[in-house]
């Protein structure tokens, strides 16, 4: 209790906590957000982490900090901290900087996929191979009225999805990727799929519009994964289904540059925690182990509360 109180009894550290309540950030990003030197930010992060207020997630050579739950006392007082953080004098400027950091993450991803749309399938398959999980993924998608695939890429799954719902919608943030998807659908004679331009955190769908949402190998490209999951919940009807496939945590650091990966995969526990926070229940995670030279895949099935 004393360690937590001492850690929080500093204006700079309270600013850090207020920022990290909005997401996970690296030391370099926090330096930009708070307009402080790196050594000072690192020192404050060390104190907060040792007190159990923060946890650090290492991904390759990068370390992401977030508000954690290692201290039972901090967990107990966290609601009051969250409420009080809204009154901090620097909060408006800090949140504007948070938005700038997230926008920079999104910009890099957008530019990469628009530039590599035509080569994307071969690029991903060659550089970061995974086991064949397609049939297992498709088997979890229920038949229904409306199905949306978020981050559809070049539309490789769309022909199979056409038979799963009366109405299929595909969303991607890259115009070049959508054009590749249209070409694929035309070549395979698939009609009636509604392709839309949109961000994962601002889906072009009204509340409760869809019965099922699919995210296939896209969450590790998201600037803010918890925000994506919260947005997915918004467009799902009550009781609607989320099906998600993504990489298990790995250490291929080069994937950030060569494949525009924001995250080097995820742990099952991490995904489950984000889903509970976003308002999902009945969360089931299954792993498809990778063979030689392949990365393992996690497949998640959950329902909106």
| Residue range 15-66, pLDDT digits in tens | 999 999 988 999 999 999 999 999 999 999 999 999 999 999 888 788 999 9
- What is the reported pLDDT for 211? 97
- What is the reported pLDDT for 60? 79
- What is the reported pLDDT for 283? 98
Q: Tens of pLDDT along 167-188?
A: 999 999 999 999 999 999 999 9
**Edge-to-edge strand order for the sheet containing 280-288?**
194-197, 165-172, 144-150, 210-216, 236-247, 297-304, 280-288
Q: How confident is the model at residue 254 (pLDDT cuts 50, 70, 90)?
A: confident
> What's the average model confidence in pLDDT over 281-293?
95
pLDDT of residue 7 exceeding 90: yes
Structure-block tokens of residue 281: 């229940």
- What is the reported pLDDT for 289? 96
In contact, 302 and 251? CB cutoff 8 Å: no
- What is the reported pLDDT for 64? 92
For 60-120, the DSSP string reads TTEEEEEE--S-HHHHHHHHHHHHHHTT-TTHHHHHHHHHHHHHHHHHHHHHHHHHHTTTH
- What is the reported pLDDT for 124? 83
- What is the reported pLDDT for 70? 83
- What is the reported pLDDT for 284? 97
All domains of the chain, ordered by start, with CATH?
2-89 (1.10.10.10), 120-304 (3.40.50.150)
pLDDT of residue 138 exceeding 90: yes
Cα–Cα distance for residue pair 272/300, rounded to 1 Å: 9
The structure tokens 């900087």 sit at: 97
pLDDT of residue 69 exceeding 80: no
* DSSP at 221: G
């Amino acid at each position: 209790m004393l360690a937590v109180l001492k850690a929080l009894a500093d204006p700079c550290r309270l600013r850090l906590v207020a920022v990290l309540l909005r997401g996970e950030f690296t030391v370099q990003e926090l330096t930009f957000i708070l307009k402080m030197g790196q050594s000072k930010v690192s020192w404050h992060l060390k104190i907060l982490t040792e007190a159990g207020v923060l946890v650090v997630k290492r991904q390759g050579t990068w370390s992401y900090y977030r508000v954690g739950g290692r201290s039972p006392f901090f967990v107990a007082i966290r609601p009051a901290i969250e409420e009080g953080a809204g009154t901090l004098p620097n909060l408006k400027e800090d949140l504007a900087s948070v938005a700038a950091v997230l926008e920079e993450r999104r910009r890099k991803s957008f530019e990469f996929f628009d530039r590599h749309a035509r080569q994307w399938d071969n690029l991903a398959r060659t550089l970061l191979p995974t086991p064949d999980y397609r049939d297992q993924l498709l088997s979890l998608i229920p038949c229904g009225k409306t199905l949306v695939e978020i981050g559809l890429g070049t539309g490789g799954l769309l022909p199979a999805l056409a038979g799963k719902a009366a109405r299929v919608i595909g969303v991607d943030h890259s115009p070049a990727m959508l054009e590749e998807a249209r070409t694929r659908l035309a070549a395979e004679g698939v009609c009636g799929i509604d392709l839309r331009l949109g961000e994962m955190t601002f889906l072009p769908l009204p509340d409760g519009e869809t019965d099922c949402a699919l995210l296939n190998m896209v969450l590790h490209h998201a600037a803010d994964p918890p925000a994506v999951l919260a947005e997915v919940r918004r467009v799902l009807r009550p009781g609607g289904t989320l099906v998600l496939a993504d990489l298990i945590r790995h250490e291929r650091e080069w994937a950030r540059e060569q494949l525009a990966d924001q995250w080097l995969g995820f742990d099952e526990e991490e995904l489950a925690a984000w889903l509970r926070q976003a308002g999902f229940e009945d969360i089931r995670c299954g792993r498809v182990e990778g063979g030689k030279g392949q990365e393992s895949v996690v497949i998640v099935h959950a329902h909106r509360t």
